[in-house]
Amino acid sequence: MEKEYDLIFSLGGSCAAACQLVQRGLRFCSLPLDYTFFRYDGKPLRKLAESFDNDFKYFLLKENLRELKGDERGAEHDGKMQYIDTYTGYRWINHFEQPIENEGSYEKVKEKIDRRINRLKDLLAKSTKVLAICTNASTLEKDCFDVLTQVLTKKYPQLQIEYIYIHYECEKYITKTDGNLTTIEVPNAENFYDFARTNYYWRFLDDLKLSGCCIEKREVQQAENTPPCIYTATAIVRFKFCILCFIFAFCSLPLPLFKSRRNWAFTKILNYKETYKNYFFNC
């Protein structure tokens, strides 16, 4: 049975949730936590609740950013400058092209994330039923999500929020529900296959759909400011992106012969997505 939500979005932890939502047509705009990482504990979720409460006053401040080095870095984004926000615990590993000391580097990213924060707040205000997805290899206690729920329902009284937590590196595959939190325990570590639509553990997304109330408003607003030629260019770019995703999914078959091609396709997808980000509402 399909479950319907006004909004489905990622709470971060890894890129997997945002990528899977894109592939299933469940992500219609970019939001602040789409491609953020965190590790080890529930601090980021508690700090996210705190950020909603104080209107993101201390979120992604320049003085709180520390560069990640050595084993701290994400290998998939080795060409980027990578930072951790020491206030929230969120890791920003694929947003900064240059060091934050360079003129305009920090300001460019901060402006983009602030724009996405305002977009998320606007969507939450318009929504009633919402699903937030989080991925991590650490055990996150339910109280992390409860604190976030308390803050969000206080700010948005109409909100009915549910969570799905993909917990990697567990003993076996199992799904557990506790109130508004569903935890899907996965036995393997996160890997390239988590970015392929054919991934078994993400099949629950096929039973979800969007109500359309938020999508329609965004599309109308976007159409008013979009030249006709952009629609053709967008269609071409997305078609090519789908071809790359198909190659990646095909090369994700468990055969040694495909390993090098799989890594190549994944790198191509990331580069292509970054180059043509404006065509994916990545603003």
List pLDDT tens digits, range 98-124: 999 999 999 999 999 999 999 999 999
For position 241, what pLDDT does the model report? 62
Are residue 217 and residue 239 in the same domain, yes or no?
Answer: no
Determine contact, residues 50/26, Cβ cutoff 8 Å. no
Last residue of a domain, one of 202, 225, 248: 225
Per-residue CA distances from 62 to 109, 147, 224 (Å): 11, 26, 35
* Residue 111: per-residue pLDDT: 96
- 44 contacts 64 by C-beta, under 8 angstroms: no
Alpha-carbon torsion, ordered 251, 254, 259, 261, to 10 deg: -10
Smallest CA-to-CA distance from 190 within 136, 147, 138, 121 is with: 136
Quote the number of domains for the chain. Answer: 2
Binning pLDDT at 50, 70 and 90, where does residue 220 land? very low
One domain, residues 276 and 193: no
Confidence of residue 141 (pLDDT cuts 50, 70, 90): confident
Based on the domain organization, do 146 and 231 belong to the same domain? Answer: no
Query: Residues 139, 206: one domain?
Result: yes
**What is the pLDDT, as a whole number, of residue 188?**
82
Residue-wise pLDDT tens digits, 28-74: 899 999 999 887 677 899 999 999 999 999 999 999 999 998 888 87
Same domain, 34 and 135: yes
pLDDT at 236 over 70: no
Q: Looking at the predicted structure, is the pLDDT value of residue 255 above 80? A: no
Q: Specify whether 85 is located in the same domain as 195.
A: yes
Q: Greater confidence, 127 or 217?
A: 127
Whether pLDDT at 231 is above 60: no
Name the pTM for this structure.
Answer: 0.76
The residue among 176, 209, 225 that closes a domain is 225
pLDDT (mean) for 210-225: 58
Q: Are residues 164 and 116 in the same domain?
A: yes
- Is the same domain home to 90 and 179? yes
Q: Cβ(149)–Cβ(178) under 8 Å?
A: no
As a whole number, the mean pLDDT across the chain is 82
Question: 232 and 200, same structural domain?
Answer: no
**For range 237-248, the mean pLDDT:** 63
Q: Is the domain of 181 the same as that of 237?
A: no
Q: Which residue has the higher pLDDT, 78 or 283?
A: 78
pLDDT at 66: 95
Buried b (16+ CB within 10 A) or exposed e, 181-191: bbbbbbeeebe
Shared domain for 103 and 51, answered yes or no, is yes
Q: Which of 199, 225, 251 is the last residue of a domain?
A: 225
Question: What is the domain range of residue 233?
Answer: 226-283
Residue 262 and residue 184 share a domain: no
First to last CA, the chain: 33
